[in-house]
Amino acid sequence: MNLNTIFFIGPQGSGKGTQAKILAKRLDFFYWEMGGVLRGMREENTDLGRKVTDMIDNGILVPDDTLIEILKLKLSQIPKEKGVIFDGIPRRLGQAEFIMEFLRNQGRENFATLFIDLPKQQSIDRLLLRAEKENRADDTREKIELRLKQYYDATLPVVDFLRAQTQFFEIDGQPSVEEVTASINKALELE
């Protein structure tokens, strides 16, 4: 399969970050992790960086206008000839439309989406376990439930958009990391 842009989408805790990193390494693609980009903005002493930091600390999803500002800034830094894997974006329809148009204007084609699905309770259980292991302040039960509500309200419509705009693969996120990796490799014909 001749792909140059892959989107990973799914609820928090589905393992999409782990799988996106594994695939980016295997394909030698640029790995774009939106959460990491946003957390990295904490280090930037800019109005935009402070605004993003405040939102993250309060468990609020960054609004589209702010996110598009960040995307314009950061996406233009990726070499056009380099494949890219997006983890954690797009999360809302406006973001999806902007990203697809921006990438197409860069000359990118051959898009795929890997939708890593996971039941809500498993997402909560995995995130609470991660919070314990990593001592993450943004993974309290209340913030997890808020983020999952935002995911179900705002991100699920993106799934239909990506299903129509890209080669779309639904992957069960419940098995082990190795089994999910194998399912992704099979879907993308990488075996």
> CA-to-CA distance for 178 and 56, rounded, in angstroms?
31
Residue 71 tokens, joined? 């995307």
Q: Give me the residue spans of the domains in the chain.
A: 5-118+155-182
Q: Which pLDDT score is estimated for 2?
A: 80
Residue 174 tokens, joined? 């419940």
> CA-to-CA distance for 79 and 75, rounded, in angstroms?
9
Cβ atoms within 10 Å of 132's Cβ, excluding its own: 10
Asked if the model's pLDDT at residue 21 lies above 90, the reply is yes
pLDDT tens-digit readout, 133-161: 887 776 788 888 888 898 888 888 899 99
Question: Averaged over 168-173, what is the pLDDT?
Answer: 97
Asked if the model's pLDDT at residue 172 lies above 90, the reply is yes
pTM for the full predicted model: 0.87
Question: Averaged over 29-40, what is the pLDDT?
Answer: 86
Secondary-structure class of domain 5-118+155-182 per CATH: alpha beta
Confidence of residue 1 (pLDDT cuts 50, 70, 90): low
Cβ atoms within 10 Å of 112's Cβ, excluding its own: 19
Q: Which pLDDT score is estimated for 69?
A: 87
| Residue 32: C-alpha distances to residues 18, 126, 148 (Å) | 12, 22, 21
Question: Averaged over 8-26, what is the pLDDT?
Answer: 94
Asked if the model's pLDDT at residue 115 lies above 90, the reply is yes
pLDDT tens-digit readout, 64-77: 888 888 888 888 88
